[in-house]
Amino acid sequence: MSLTTVTHLNFRGRAAEALGFYQSVFGGELQLTRYAQLGMPAEAPDADRVVFGRLFADNGFRVLAYDVPGSEPAPVEATTRREQGLTLTSEPFFLSVQGQSLEEVRGYWEGLADGATVVEELGPSAWSPGFGMLTDRFGVTWVLDVAPAAG
């Protein structure tokens, strides 16, 4: 038996935008299903929002997302949890991306850093040739690092 875990992100009216941004960073095939496609009347307020979003890339990146029904859209300039005065330990989770080389990880870092708040700049750490943490423009906190050498 095999088990796969995929992160599912919840947005407030910005799921399509976020998934499109992540596709620009990681590549992959994006699939979006809108509430209207599943029978919600087109004139309903949430009809054009995402009920199921999926981004799967050949490099192993996988994420799901949707728009919470009935919720107000987030402001265009997403407020990060850090700006709200919360500490890192109050985060319920971080999304982790681990690559095989610093060049690979740096490419993802540069993409995600567009409009992000850097928590810890990408650089060498005690356990990795490259580690960094940021909160992207959608309020998702990412940990990026290079896989440590075996042994």
- In this predicted model, what pLDDT tens digit does every residue of 44-66 receive, in sequence order? 888 999 999 999 999 999 999 99
> Residue 56 has what pLDDT?
97
Asked if the structure places residue 79 within a domain, the reply is no
Res. 86: pLDDT tops 70 = no
Give the residue-averaged pLDDT of 30-43.
92
Q: What is the pLDDT of residue 81?
A: 44
pTM of the model: 0.82
In a domain, 80, yes or no: no
- Which is more confident, 43 or 24? 24
Any domain includes 2: no
Classify residue 36: in a domain, yes or no.
Answer: yes
* Residue 62, in any domain of the structure: yes
Which residue did the predictor score with more confidence, 88 or 22? 22
Indicate if 23 and 60 belong to the same structural domain. yes
Inform me whether the pLDDT recorded for 132 exceeds 60. yes
Q: Is 6 helix (H, G, I), strand (E, B) or coil?
A: coil
Long-range contacts of 122-128 (CB under 8 A, 24+ apart): none
Domain identity same for 112 and 141: yes
Q: Is the pLDDT of residue 74 over 90?
A: no
60 and 93, same domain (yes or no): no
Q: Could you give the number of structural domains in the chain?
A: 2
Q: Determine the Cα–Cα distance for residues 30 and 62; give it in Å rounded to an integer.
A: 10
Q: DSSP 3-state assignment of 133?
A: strand
> CA-CA distances (angstroms) from residue 66 to 39, 73, 81, 126?
16, 12, 20, 37
Residues 55 and 11 in one domain: yes
- Which single residue is written with the structure tokens 């999926």? 54
Distance, CA of 149 to chain centre? 26
What CATH number is associated with residue 49?
3.10.180.10
pLDDT band at 93 (very low <50, low <70, confident <90, very high): confident
Please report whether residue 121 resides in a domain: yes
Three-state DSSP class for residue 4: coil
Range of the domain at 34: 7-67
Residue 83 located in a structural domain: no
94 lies in the same domain as 47: no
